[in-house]
Structure 1
Amino acid sequence: MKNIARSLMVVGIAISLTACEWEFGTIDDDEEGRLSLDLADAPVDDLTEVNITVVGVEIKPSDEDALVFTYEEPRTYDLLELQNGDTAELLSSEDVPAESYEWIRLNLSPQSGAHYVVGDDGGRYSLAVPSGAQSGLQVNAGFSVEAEEDIELTLDFDVRKSVVASGSTLADYLLRPVLRLVINDEVGAITGTVDESTVIAVECADVQDYAGLVYVYQGADVAPDDLGSGTEPVVAVPVTDEDDPGTYRYQASLISEGNYTVSYSCDIDDNETDEDLAFIDSESVRVEAGDQAEINFN
């Protein structure tokens, strides 16, 4: 289910990293593992690009200083290209000590204009990352690398929850990162359709402009609520007929194995506002690693 987006818009991408800025002395092969890290995003409406520029990656062993991997040239990623299972490569089979780790951090470019968004009106707008130049984008999530193991991780970046209008002179938009780290071998997906005649045609005022969201909640039989509520969805993904006009589909990727509740709403959901959304046809579903569960709203 992992598709690497090789043709992403990546500015000045370097094939190799500079030498790792860490010293552990001589490490035998049987004391090392190999770590790969990808970047993905949950879909968002009303923006056509969300670009961040990354200069390197840090990972923090439990009992040592952070390992620093610095790119030869900064890499700019359009996060909105990283949807529906597509990912971009951050690290590829890097040798790391076999031990437990506490966090991963993306180090961001401090250059002016390095981060920006493009609206659906075609305009380019500034994007500020508060304290981004100092602390980067960090996710505190523990994981372990075993000796001689190849581990593949994905940093899932939820732009829908992360990007908000600024309302200040700092920038047009602010990035308040909502990140989660998943082990690729331990995730699946939820996909399906929303019937045009029985749901969308009734619930959505203009299906060409907005066909609603499918919400995914941790646990079975959860009463759905909006973004930013006490019952926060793991992800909310758009319904669209872009690939097959007249057939409305959705896909929630990188869902950890477990039980979930899936629901649909065509009401506009502003993650900065508490709204009373009308949800339709909540269903419970079990997600298994490596599989796609299918829930259709008919």
Structure 2
Amino acid sequence: MKNTWKNLALGTFMLGGIATLTACSNTDSNGGPEKTRLQIALTDDPGDYAEVWIDVKEIRINSSDADDQNWVPLPGVKAGAYNLLDLVNDKDTILADAEIPTGKISQIRLVLGDNNFLVTNDGKRLPLTTPSAQQSGLKLNIHQAVIGGIINKLTLDFDVAKSIVKAGNSGKYILKPVIRTVLEAVGGNIRGGVLPDSVQTAVLAIQGADTVASTYSLNGGYLLRGIPAGAYSLHFIPTDTNFLPAVKNAVPVVLGQITTVDTVRLQKK
């Protein structure tokens, strides 16, 4: 989106829904531990079929190493049918986008329904049966930390060619998912403060002529999430027109890190 300073001023009151605002501390708004945002994405390696559909019902996460306890359903899962062969050549789709406590993910379970099937290259639709041992969900070991305050993306890389097994000469196909997991930070974050804290202020991260991220200050604090690594200028546009806009230049963003910016003090006209 191309912007001039005039356009920024005119657009101040239209920015509220563009980005999610969180507090600039290590606790959430209820005084609890800092949360982290976890996205779970699904992608695929090609297989020799026209279509391969899986029926995603639920994703559960576990922060402990115990297999039989501490499993928690992940909120916000987009349950439904997914054609894995739509997700090749670095394409993916987001299965879940949720906030979880900062810490580590030891394991996840991908719970599938019964409507799994493939379509052969000559157009035949064949059901994919799932072994009974996987009815409670396919367990995947992660054993990695999720970084607080940023977006963490866990990609489930489905290997179709290895995941579909033909059962002898019966004509039946069994789904035994082979999945590689990759957990990575998505960009970095910028946080800071604006004074006076009673003045709500639009905060925009701009690179060149493009607005990359934006939010509003809340009680003087702001947090911009998931910004690609690089250098940005931060533009502060107060909603109270008695105060002047401000700019901070050359603000660095590093992948997987939070850049804390010195507090900006707005000047009256």
* Band the TM-score falls in, shorter-chain normalisation: 0.5 to 0.7
The CA distance in 1 between the partners of 2:143 and 2:103, in whole Å, is 11
2:104 aligned residue: 100
Pair member with larger Rg: 2
Letter in 1 for 2:99: D
**RMSD (Å) for aligned C-alpha atoms:** 2.7
Per the alignment, residue 181 of structure 1 pairs with 181
1:58-77 → structure 2 map (5 Å cutoff): 58-62=60-64, 65-69=70-74, 74-77=79-82
Offset at residue 27 of structure 1 (A): 6.2
Question: Where does 1:217-236 land on structure 2 (aligned, <5 Å)?
Answer: none
2:88 maps to 1:83 = yes
Structure 1's 163 and 28: CA in aligned 2 closer, same or farther, altered over 3 A? farther
Comparing 143-152 with 71-80, greater Cα deviation is found at 71-80
Distance between the aligned counterparts of 2:87 and 2:179, measured in 1? 14
CA contact (8 A) 1:30 1:148 kept: no
Q: Give the TM-score of the pair, scaled to structure 1.
A: 0.47
Matched residue SS, 1:41: strand
Q: Which amino acid in the other structure matches residue 177 of structure 1?
A: P
Structure with higher RCO (Cα < 8 A, 6+ apart)? 2
What is the aligned partner in structure 2 of residue 51 from structure 1? 53
**Structure 2 residue corresponding to 1:39, chosen from 39, 42, 62:** 42
Amino acid at match of 1:98: T
Deviations 1:206-228 (A, max 9, x none): xxxxxxxxxxxxxxxxxxxxxxx
Q: Tell me how far apart the structure 2 counterparts of residues 55 and 167 of structure 1 sit (CA, whole Å).
A: 29
After superposition, what is the alpha-carbon deviation per residue over 1:50-79, rounded to whole angstroms, capped at 9, x for unaligned? Answer: 111011111111277122036688400111
Alignment length, in residue pairs?
A: 156
**2:78 and 2:95 in contact (8 A); partners too:** no
State how far apart, in whole Å, the 1-side matches of 2:102 and 2:76 are.
23
Q: Distance in 1 between matches of 2:146 and 2:157?
A: 19
Partner in structure 2 of residue 150 of structure 1: 151
Structure-2 separation of matches of 1:149 and 1:66: 23
List structure 1 runs of 4+ shifted beyond 3 angstroms.
Answer: 26-30, 70-74
The residue type paired with residue 89 of structure 2 is N
Q: Secondary structure at the match of 1:65?
A: coil
Query: Would the aligned equivalents of 2:40 and 2:95 in 1 still touch at CA under 8 Å?
Result: yes
Aligned to 1:296: none
Taking the aligned partners of 2:135 and 2:177, their CA distance within structure 1 comes to: 14
Distance 2:152 2:88 in 1: 22
- Equivalent residue for 2:164? 163
The AA in structure 2 aligned to 1:75 is G
- Give the match's secondary structure for 1:91: strand
* 1:51 to 1:167, Cα distance in 2 relative to 1, 3 A: same
**Identical aligned residues as a percent:** 35
CA contact (8 A) 2:76 2:96 kept: no
TM-score calculated relative to the size of structure 2: 0.52
Q: Which amino acid aligns with 1:39?
A: L
Amino acid at match of 1:152: K
Between the aligned partners of 1:66 and 1:76, the Cα distance in structure 2 is 23
Change in Cα spacing, 1:132 to 1:157, as seen in structure 2 (3 Å) is farther
Q: Separation in 2 of the partners of 1:152 and 1:103?
A: 15
How far is the alpha carbon of 1:136 from its aligned partner?
1.7
Q: List per-residue Cα deviations over 1:137-185 (Å, max 9, x = no partner).
A: 221121212322321110111111111112265x721111111110245
Query: How do 1:1-298 residues align onto structure 2 when only pairs under 5 Å count?
Result: 28=31, 30-45=33-48, 47-62=49-64, 65-69=70-74, 74-92=79-97, 94-109=98-113, 111=114, 114-131=115-132, 134-167=135-168, 172-185=172-185
Distance 1:142 1:75, change over 3 A: same
Deviation (angstroms), 1:117: 0.4
Deviation at 1:88, TM superposition (A): 1.3
